[in-house]
Structure 1
Amino acid sequence: MLTVVTHPLVQHKLSLMRDVHTGVKEFRELAAEVSMLLAYEAMRDLELEPTRLQTPLQEGEFPMLSGKKLALVAILRAGLVMTDAIVNLVPAAKVGHIGLYRDPQTLQPVAYYNKLPADIADRRVFLTDPMLATGGSAAAAIASLKAAGAQSIKLMSILAAPEGVAAVKRDHPDVEIVVAAVDERLNDHGYIVPGLGDAGDRIYGTK
């Protein structure tokens, strides 16, 4: 399943991120803001249960989160800005990291780091990667999560290419994808067009 969040605030902030004149500080802040807005949609189906509480005026039953606990897993390095933002909404969530980079020649993902919560199998997992380009890294990360026992996984990306969406759907049809937009295509170098450039470089000012 693919969900594109078309809310005007998301689309406005995404357009600012696309602008080549947007600086590192503003780009990083925008990425965090869009991530939190995407999380509202991605977490729409979290279960609630009535909980008895005492307000300043009277006692009553009010909805609070129930069910499985949450895990936020970042695909390094660019996914960090997303998990760091979303954890402000769900501070009890545990955070994991999967290190992958894309070989510039083969465009295939190469793993170099994996650190997940020990109880990942008991948690609803939200995997973050700002750019869903070829889909290779996301598919590999999802496979790694499943190998560790994760059963409920959603992928959150700010921007996607049709090729990346298709690749994840092919390899992991059970994983829902939540994005702000799906662009036209990938270019010969594996970049999303029209896109916003390299998200990691623009977040950290490394290019």
Structure 2
Amino acid sequence: MTQVTVVGHPLVQHKLTKMRDKATSTKTFRALMREVATLICYEVTRDLPMEKVEIETPVAPTTAYEIAGKKLVFAPILRAGLGMCEGMLDLVPSARVAHIGLYRDHETLEAIEYYFKAPEDITDRLVIVVDPMLATGHSAIAAIARLKHHGVTNLRFVCLLAARQGVDALRAAHPDVPIWTAAIDETLNDHGYIVPGLGDAGDRTFGTR
């Protein structure tokens, strides 16, 4: 699919399998979420712009490379996105963080916003929206729409696991926003959960199942 990247690295797939297992403990699930997020972050940031800088090593002066421009922003969708955001901050500790609070109405499956906080100059930065699950796509669509309303134009979306319906919905609503995920499952059940999926990522991360 156009602008959709499935990160098939063996370490990512191995850890995802462990996360799918219902016998995996909350502690292990949380650790795996953080690890997988770090690994996916390598792929999402692969094409960040670079610039040359002059430095001195302990041996001699040299020309080297640094990431150019303003620091990027991670925008986790609360609450489950926090588990992935921590792993991405391990890799890019200087990144800014925006918080988008959304919950899903269990009757309509629509996303309802309850919190939004972002850096003042977010429009000048690359913003990576983070949510473990892309199921119906409603939360991702709403979060990205909110960021665009604030003037953000450089956006990417990262999830751990997606349903094909969610990918199609997000691509239709925001075709300019590329997607990275570890896997795409075929369908959703009547409650809007990905099948076979891994259950509720928020509950499994925070032990509220």
Q: TM-score, normalised by structure 1?
A: 0.99
Q: Report the 3-state secondary structure (helix = DSSP H, G, I; strand = E; otherwise coil) of the residue aligned with 2:85.
A: helix
What residue number does 1:42 align with? 44
The 5 Å alignment of 1:18-33 reads 18-33=20-35
What residue number does 2:174 align with? 172
- Tell me whether 81-90 or 181-190 shows the greater mean CA deviation: 81-90
What residue number does 2:154 align with? 152
What residue number does 2:75 align with? 73
What residue number does 1:53 align with? 55
Matching residue's letter, 1:127: V
What residue number does 1:120 align with? 122
Please say if residues 36 and 87 of structure 2, whose CA atoms lie closer than 8 Å, have aligned partners that are also in contact: no
Structure 1's consecutive aligned runs of 4 or more residues displaced over 4 angstroms after TM superposition are: none
CA distance in 1, matches of 2:149, 2:86: 25
Give the superposition deviation at 1:92. 1.5
1:2 pairs with 2:23: no
CA distance in 2, matches of 1:49, 1:159: 34
Matching residue's letter, 2:85: T
CA distance in 2, matches of 1:12, 1:88: 20
Q: Report the 3-state secondary structure (helix = DSSP H, G, I; strand = E; otherwise coil) of the residue aligned with 1:17.
A: helix
Matched pairs, number: 207
Q: Report the 3-state secondary structure (helix = DSSP H, G, I; strand = E; otherwise coil) of the residue aligned with 2:179.
A: strand
CA distance in 2, matches of 1:149, 1:120: 8
Q: Report the 3-state secondary structure (helix = DSSP H, G, I; strand = E; otherwise coil) of the residue aligned with 1:69.
A: coil
Matching residue's letter, 1:129: D
CA distance in 2, matches of 1:91, 1:201: 26
The 5 Å alignment of 1:65-144 reads 65-144=67-146
- Tell me whether 142-151 or 81-90 shows the greater mean CA deviation: 81-90
Give the superposition deviation at 1:69. 2.5
Give the superposition deviation at 1:63. 1.0
Matching residue's letter, 2:39: L
What residue number does 1:183 align with? 185
Matching residue's letter, 2:99: H
What residue ranges of structure 1 are gaps of 5+ in the alignment? none
Matching residue's letter, 2:123: A
More strand by share: 1
What residue ranges of structure 2 are gaps of 5+ in the alignment? none
Q: Report the 3-state secondary structure (helix = DSSP H, G, I; strand = E; otherwise coil) of the residue aligned with 2:160.
A: strand
Instruction: Give the RMSD, CA atoms, in angstroms.
Output: 0.7
Q: TM-score, normalised by structure 2?
A: 0.98
Give the superposition deviation at 1:67. 2.6
Q: Report the 3-state secondary structure (helix = DSSP H, G, I; strand = E; otherwise coil) of the residue aligned with 1:45.
A: coil
Q: Report the 3-state secondary structure (helix = DSSP H, G, I; strand = E; otherwise coil) of the residue aligned with 2:23.
A: coil
Q: Report the 3-state secondary structure (helix = DSSP H, G, I; strand = E; otherwise coil) of the residue aligned with 1:20.
A: coil
Q: Percent identity?
A: 55
